[in-house]
């Protein structure tokens, strides 16, 4: 389990003596358990400098040991820091969303999809899990209209292809129709 989340504001312990704030834009967990049962925690964080404000964002990949939490998104300090950053950007007339915020928003969505299983790992990275659009769950039809449509479709399929499976599926639809009525 990571100590930080995408969107958290952190400081970088090896930075110069000036105040520097970074935002976590991505993270990868390489933690593993050894053969003898020892858990090795290894999480890399991609961070982007947000203060001082620069035209081009500086990114770095760091270990958990070299960053320290300043504020989470729900903290009041988080809002204060971003108010300061936005005022500075407005003074310089830099319009639009900073590129690091695009990374934060995109990676939050991707991480959520990884957790709920709608993204799957491939040889070349992550991709959306394919939805099985061909499967109709006749026992879960929601309305009487859906049941009647399914009955008509199954009748037409049986008439065109002569497969007895369509008649068996019509029985499921009849059971569901009786449940709804």
Strand, coil or helix: what is 95?
coil
Same structural domain, 171 and 147: yes
Same structural domain, 69 and 113: yes
Task: State residue 132's pLDDT score.
Answer: 61
More confident residue, 72 or 124: 72
- Own/partner contacts of 112-119, CB < 8 Å, gap of 24 or more, are none
Same structural domain, 15 and 87: yes
Same structural domain, 57 and 122: yes
Give CA separation, 132 vs 41, 65, 97, in Å. Answer: 36, 43, 36
Selection from 179, 94, 79, 97 nearest residue 139 by Cα: 179
What is the average per-residue pLDDT within 3-13?
A: 90
Picking from 87, 104, 128, the residue at the C-terminal end of a domain is 128
Task: State residue 131's pLDDT score.
Answer: 66
**1 falls within a domain:** no
**2 falls within a domain:** no
Give yes or no for residue 77 having a pLDDT over 90. Answer: yes
- Per-residue confidence band for 68, with pLDDT thresholds at 50, 70 and 90: very high
Give yes or no for residue 13 having a pLDDT over 70. Answer: yes
Q: What is the mean pLDDT of the chain?
A: 86
Give yes or no for residue 72 having a pLDDT over 90. Answer: yes
The pTM (predicted TM-score) of the whole model is 0.63
Same structural domain, 145 and 106: no
Same structural domain, 19 and 44: yes
In this structure, how many other beta carbons lie within 10 angstroms of the beta carbon of residue 167? Answer: 12
Structurally, the chain folds into a number of domains equal to 2
What is the average per-residue pLDDT within 117-131?
A: 69
What is the average per-residue pLDDT within 78-84?
A: 93
CA distance 118 to 131: 9
Same structural domain, 99 and 117: yes
**3 falls within a domain:** no
In terms of residue numbers, what domain contains 101? 9-128
Same structural domain, 35 and 107: yes
Q: List the beta bridge partners of residue 67.
A: 12
- Tell me: the pLDDT tens digits for 126-139? 677 666 666 788 88
Alpha helices in the chain (DSSP H): 76-91, 99-116, 144-161, 165-180
């Amino acid at each position: 389990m990571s100590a930080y989340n995408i969107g958290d504001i952190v400081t970088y312990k090896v930075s110069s003596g000036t105040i520097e704030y970074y935002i976590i834009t991505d993270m990868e967990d390489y933690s593993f358990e050894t053969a003898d049962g020892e858990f090795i925690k290894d999480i890399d964080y991609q961070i982007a400098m947000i203060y001082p404000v620069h035209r081009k964002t500086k990114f770095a990949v760091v270990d958990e040991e070299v960053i320290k939490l300043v504020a989470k998104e729900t903290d009041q300090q988080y809002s204060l820091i971003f108010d300061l950053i936005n005022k500075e950007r407005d003074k310089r007339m830099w319009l639009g969303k900073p590129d690091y915020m695009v990374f934060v928003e995109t990676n939050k969505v991707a991480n959520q999809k990884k957790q709920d299983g709608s993204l799957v790992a491939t040889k070349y990275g992550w991709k959306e899990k394919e939805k099985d659009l061909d499967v109709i769950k006749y026992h879960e039809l929601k309305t009487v209209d859906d049941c009647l449509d399914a009955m008509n479709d199954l009748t037409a399929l049986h008439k065109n292809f002569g497969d007895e499976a369509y008649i068996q599926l019509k029985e499921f639809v009849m059971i569901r129709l009786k449940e709804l009525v």
